Amino acid sequence: MRPLLGPAAVLVRQLPHGAGLPLPSYATAGSAGLDLAAAVEAPIELAPGSRALVPTGIAIALPPGYEAQVRPRSGLAARHGLTVLNSPGTVDSDYRGEVAVILINLGQAPFRVERGLRIAQLVIAPVTMARLYAVAELPGSSRGEGGFGSTGSDVTSADGPA
147: left (phi over 0), alpha (psi -120 to 50) or beta: beta
Range of the domain at 32: 11-130
The answer to the question of residue 142 being in a domain is no
> Which pLDDT score is estimated for 147?
83
Give the domain CATH number at 100. 2.70.40.10
Question: What are residue 66's DSSP bridge partners?
Answer: 126
The answer to the question of residue 16 being in a domain is yes
The answer to the question of residue 116 being in a domain is yes
Name the residue among 108, 116, 119, 44 with its Cα closest to residue 74.
119
**Which pTM was predicted?**
0.84
Report how far residue 87's alpha carbon sits from residue 97's, in angstroms, rounded to the nearest whole number.
19
pLDDT 10s per residue in the chain (162 long)? 455 455 789 999 999 999 999 999 999 999 999 999 999 999 999 999 999 999 999 999 999 999 999 999 999 999 999 999 999 999 999 999 999 999 999 999 999 999 999 999 999 999 999 999 999 999 999 888 888 877 766 555 556 555
The answer to the question of residue 18 being in a domain is yes
> Which pLDDT score is estimated for 1?
47
Number of domains in the chain: 1
Helices (H), 19-107: 74-80
Q: In this structure, are residues 122 and 128 in contact, taking their beta carbons and an 8 Å threshold?
A: no
Strands (E), 41-146: 44-46, 51-61, 66-71, 82-84, 89-91, 98-105, 111-113, 118-126
